[in-house]
Amino acid sequence: MTTLPYEGQIIVGRREMVVLPELELTLCAKIDTGARTSALHAEDIETFVQDGQPWVRFITRVDGPDSPACPCTLHLHDRRRITSSNGQTEWRCVVSTLMLLGDKQMPIQLTLTDRGQMRYPMLLGRRALGDMLVAPSQVFLHGRP
């Protein structure tokens, strides 16, 4: 019998609390194995150049449209053409930052988009999940909100 490569892997539920320490944010993320790229809710996205480097500033809201605005500024990593689940294609800014999920810390790339009509401000896609296993019937295996 072949040994399965699952032993010792992190198991996540369909929703998890994550921390983005560089942005000083703790928020609920929806795990989405159908999405290749992760996304973070962003409003008033503005790119600019500082010391010859591209940057992006935006605001995010971690608890819905009526929650306080959290201003953020990060180095602009890239711009990508992303096709959403409804088939619409748009150019999005991409940022790189650290993410904490439970006791695991990892670099992550996030596209910035308006998720104001979505239930969760962050979507965690396949690239960020890496070799994690998803237990779709579970939620918050790494801490409750």
Q: Which domains does the chain have, with CATH numbers?
A: 13-129 (2.40.70.10)
The parts of the chain modelled with pLDDT lower than 50 are: none
pLDDT for res 2? 65
Determine the pLDDT at residue 46. 97
Nearest Cα neighbor of 126 from 62, 47, 35, 7 is: 35
Q: What is the predicted pLDDT for the residue at 63?
A: 86
At residue 135, the pLDDT reads 93
- 46 contact partners, CB below 8 Å, separation of at least 6: 56, 57, 58
pLDDT for 84 equals 79
pLDDT for residue 4: 66
State pTM to two decimals. Answer: 0.91
What was the pLDDT predicted at 26? 94
